[in-house]
Amino acid sequence: MSSPTTTHRTQVLVIGSGAAGLTAAIAAGRNGADTILVENAGFLGGISSTLPWLGFHDRDYRLVVKGMPLEFCRRLQAAGAASDFVLDPKCASAIGIDSHWWKILLMQLMREAGVRVLLHSQVVDTIREGDRIAGVIVENKSGRQRIEAGVTIDCSGDGDVAARGGVKWEKGRTADGLVQAPTLVFKLGAVSREGFVAGCKNPANNYREWLAPYPDLWEKMMRRIDRMDLIICGGYAALIEKARLAGDFSVPQTRIVGVKLHRNDEYLVVMTRVLGLDPTDITSLTDAYSKVYEQIPVLTHFFQKYVPGFERSYLREIAPMLGIRESRRITGDYVLKAEDLIAGRVFDDAVSMGGYHIDIHRPAGTWVDSHNVRTYTIPLRSLIAGGVEGLMMAGKCLSATHEAVASTRVVPICMGQGQAAGTAAALAVKHQRSVRELSISELQDTLARQGAEFGRTLEPPDQRAIDEIGQLPIDEPPTTGDRDAASAAAGAWVERR
């Protein structure tokens, strides 16, 4: 293997520009650290650039993610490139963004924060000196380069830095190591909003299964649906069954999952699906791409033929990257668990928050396993890689169990973690200390000054919204049907608690 031709040196190095990495890099830059952001793709944003953002709010309809992620929303809204927040009884809230404007804004944000960006650059090795992670080796058009850093933050989604640096990680669920099913999302255009909403109003379609057991919630949704900017779907099981029996549906999915986007005629389909993927195995990954590209025409024809409002729709855009919901999770100083989320645990070293439900797209079955949560905090210790110095992580790589990461993985919560990790890394290099030796109060004060929410400025529950929208109970009945062997075996994890 050739030796690196160039050596870069930086105080903070962030790998991956998804929701977590982009926010970590901007936070580090804004807090005065010399920062490099390395990204494999030719654009910034990772999966956040391909879909609406869910979960800025909690089940009491108050903002639990603020700071930089909220600032990004406001800047997009000011540019006419994002919807208002739409409150929702299952996902708490959704905001629609215009993907292309988000990518444009991201370049500007990096320039403003003084972050040096390396695109089309892949981490191929990790520099480990004893028990310290000292940077990475990347490959790109210029050849092989060495990047040395004071603190490295792994936001690759796959824990690539940790895995190549011999740092402990886990992947998938305990029973069989399988990760959540991945999905390549795509957009349909020329959808009739009126036709689609009429279909949602027909109870026979059961467009949102979560609401079916609660007539009160259903009625409240029906009262708002005509004026909602975004409409989230998870249902239509009978329609899919009808299409399957007619030989028109061969995708391993039994519900319509998707979002009627804020752009009037656009719908995001979240239904391609591959069972049993290993996202860190290139043969498995390539096979997944081959399968989802086969499924897109099947799904497009299904929508045109069966779903109200889609009669004239057409395939408008396929996302640039397969959506991997889960991959390597780096084992940190604390492993966040489902119990912490369901209990709404408040940690002394809290640095960000979340309130999104646990949302597991079954690794080898269809539909989801789900559990609602209370508003919880994320501790700094879950952002620090265990057993080494110099390595942090955020986003899908967070130190959390398969179940907990199924809540913390949504865009706003990943961004909140990113702001915390980037700020902690900047303070650590400033004080020439390990992140473990940081004063928690100094870090929390800095985050609070910069608008981040970790419990200090949480508003009371929004009673008006609760009355208007309603609330699902914390303990819902387990989702029915379509369980794969591991989620059915010995009862799903939810029932084992």
Ligand X SMILES: Cc1cc2nc3c(=O)[nH]c(=O)nc-3n(C[C@H](O)[C@H](O)[C@H](O)COP(=O)(O)OP(=O)(O)OC[C@H]3O[C@@H](n4cnc5c(N)ncnc54)[C@H](O)[C@@H]3O)c2cc1C
What residues make contact with ligand X under the rule CB under 6 A? 15-21, 38-41, 46-48, 51-55, 122-123, 155-158, 160, 183, 185, 270, 323-325, 395-396, 409-411, 414
Which residue, 288 or 429, is less far from ligand X as judged by CB?
Answer: 288
β pairing state of 358-361 and 143-154? unpaired
The one-character DSSP state at 251 is S
Partners of 48 in the beta sheet? none
Q: Which amino acid appears at position 152 of this protein?
A: T
Partners of 233 in the beta sheet? 258
Which residue, 160 or 484, is less far from ligand X as judged by CB?
Answer: 160
Least separation, in Å, of the C-beta of 470 and ligand X? 21
Least separation, in Å, of the C-beta of 148 and ligand X? 16
Which residue, 55 or 252, is less far from ligand X as judged by CB?
Answer: 55
For residue 448, the tally of other CB atoms under 10 A from its CB is 16
Which residue, 274 or 469, is less far from ligand X as judged by CB?
Answer: 274
Q: Which two tokens stand for residue 398?
A: 């967070």
Least separation, in Å, of the C-beta of 264 and ligand X? 19
Q: Which amino acid appears at position 491 of this protein?
A: G
Least separation, in Å, of the C-beta of 355 and ligand X? 13
Q: Which two tokens stand for residue 418?
A: 């990113």
Least separation, in Å, of the C-beta of 157 and ligand X? 3
What are phi and psi for residue 478, nearest 5 degrees? -60, 145
Which residue, 259 or 486, is less far from ligand X as judged by CB?
Answer: 259
Which residue, 99 or 431, is less far from ligand X as judged by CB?
Answer: 99
Least separation, in Å, of the C-beta of 26 and ligand X? 13
For residue 147, the tally of other CB atoms under 10 A from its CB is 25
Task: With beta carbons less than 8 A apart as the criterion, state whether 142 and 104 touch.
Answer: no
Which residue, 52 or 379, is less far from ligand X as judged by CB?
Answer: 52
Which residue, 280 or 346, is less far from ligand X as judged by CB?
Answer: 280
* Strand, helix or coil for residue 133: strand
Dist CA 445 CA 439 (whole Å): 10
Dist CA 294 CA 310 (whole Å): 20
Dist CA 364 CA 252 (whole Å): 9
Least separation, in Å, of the C-beta of 36 and ligand X? 12
- Give CA separation, 167 vs 126, 400, 421, in Å: 10, 15, 18
Least separation, in Å, of the C-beta of 204 and ligand X? 26
Question: Nearest 5°: CA angle at 389, between 387 and 392?
Answer: 90
Which residue, 49 or 491, is less far from ligand X as judged by CB?
Answer: 49
How much helix, strand and coil, in percent to the nearest 5, is found in the chain? 35, 25, 40
Least separation, in Å, of the C-beta of 44 and ligand X? 8
For residue 226, the tally of other CB atoms under 10 A from its CB is 10
